[in-house]
Structure 1
Amino acid sequence: MRELFKKYTNNFELSVDLEHDVVTFLKSNYFTNTAEHSCKVGKEAERLAHSFNSNGDVAKAAGLLHDISVVFPNNERAVVVEKLGLNVFDAERIFPLIAHQRISRVMAEEIFNIQDEEILSAIECHTTLKRESSKIDQIVFVADKIEWDQDGTPPYINQIKSQLEFSIGHAAYAYIDYLWARKKTLKVVHPWLAEAHKDLKRKLAF
């Protein structure tokens, strides 16, 4: 495990119960609200996976782990990405919050011993999605948007739920297109989001 993760894992030991481990990790680092959000996303991802004939255990695991990098303050995240030896996108330097998805992937590997590429991929793109996204990627992406971590009802929720009647890809596109229509008001447009929008628009023939 890398040195920069060790201070968050004092007295932390893995069990055979991933949900218990994620909750313990987050609560021990004083992120109770994130622990609750992560459990909701994991549950919703599992439900969506069953609805769309995908692996519920894989989807739930990615949902549980997606926000574990919350332990790093926003203003440190671009630096953490660099320390992990990854390329930092300009959008992540301007708005470091969105770098957390890529940090969470590495933490899932090194702290929680996750080796399943489906899980890691879904964690890595749960905020922005990406080009050539898998069904599991899309499931965790949509689950995170349904179980958002803000107060009130998500303003885009009706668009997502109506498109779930067609496919998980349609639902993912509904959220991305919601943002795309408002991109001038966004702090940044991550290149992965732009690529996902173009990719899904082509595949779904919008």
Structure 2
Amino acid sequence: MSSILEKLTSNMTATGDLKSDVYQFLLSNHCPKTAEHCMEVGAESRRVAGIVGADQEQAEIAGWLHDISAVFPNDQRIDAARELGIDVLPEEEVFPMIVHQKLSKVMAERIFQINDLAILEAVGCHTTLRSHSTQLDQVLFVADKIAWDQNGEPPYLQQLKEALEISLPHASFCYLHYLWERRSSLKVIHPWLREAHEELNLILN
């Protein structure tokens, strides 16, 4: 394991209970709010997976793991990504928060020994989605937006829930389009988000 990851796990003892281990990992690295958020997204991912007929266990695990990279402050994320061999896009250089999805994917594999590629890929695109997204990608993407980590109720929530009643791709597109309509106010437009929006727009419209 990389030295930067070893430092993060030095204060915890793995129990084999993934949910508990993820929670304790985040607590031991001073991220209690993220610990709660990851548990909430795990539960919401399981719920959404049940609605659309996806694998509920995979969805829940992906939810628990999706934000474990919160242990790296924003100003350390690009260096951490490079040390872990992650390809960093120019947009991620400008807005390091976005690279956290890639960091979480690598950390899930190397710290928590996740070898289910579907789970890892979903974790790795949960903020932006991607083109040719899988059902599990979209489950986690939508669940994370429903169980968001800010105060109050998301402004798009009712519209997103109504879209989910139609289909999972409609719900995914609903949030992507919400961002797309506000793209002039975004710090960057991640190319994966752009590609996912274009693709779902063609498929659904």
Larger proportion of helix: 2
Residue 66 of structure 1 corresponds to 66
Q: SS where residue 165 of structure 2 aligns? A: coil
Q: Offset at 1:179?
A: 0.3
CA displacement 1:135-160 (0-9 Å, x = unmatched) = 10000000000010000110111121
Pairing of 1:24-39 with structure 2 (within 5 A): 24-39=24-39
1:41 aligns with 2:58: no
Shift of 1:2: 1.0
Q: TM-score, normalised by structure 2?
A: 0.98
Q: 2:14 and 2:202 mapped to 1: Cα distance?
A: 42
The amino acid of 2:48's aligned partner reads L
Aligned residue number for residue 111 of structure 2: 111
Q: Which amino acid aligns with 2:4?
A: L
Offset, 1:16: 2.8
Q: Provide the rounded CA distance (Å) in 2 between the counterparts of 1:14 and 1:166.
A: 41
Greater Cα offset, 156-165 or 7-16: 7-16
Match of 1:157 in 2: 157
Aligned-residue RMSD, C-alpha: 0.9
Report the Cα distance in structure 2 between the residues aligned to 1:170 and 1:18, rounded to whole angstroms.
Answer: 31
Shift of 1:32: 0.7
Deviation at 1:11, TM superposition (A): 3.8
1:9: Cα distance to partner?
0.3
Letter in 1 for 2:129: L
> Following TM superposition, where does structure 1 have runs of at least 4 consecutive aligned residues deviating by more than 3 angstroms?
none
Which residue number corresponds to residue 79 of structure 1? 79
Q: 1:50 and 2:42 equivalent?
A: no
Match for residue 22 of structure 1? 22
Count of residue pairs the alignment pairs up: 205
Query: What amino acid does structure 2 have at the position aligned with 1:68?
Result: I
Over the matched positions of the two proteins, sequence identity in percent amounts to 49
**What are the superposed Cα offsets for residues 23-54 of structure 1, whole Å, 9 maximum, x if unpaired?**
01000111111000000000000011011111
Q: Which runs of 5+ in 1 are unaligned?
A: none
**TM-score using structure 1 length:** 0.97
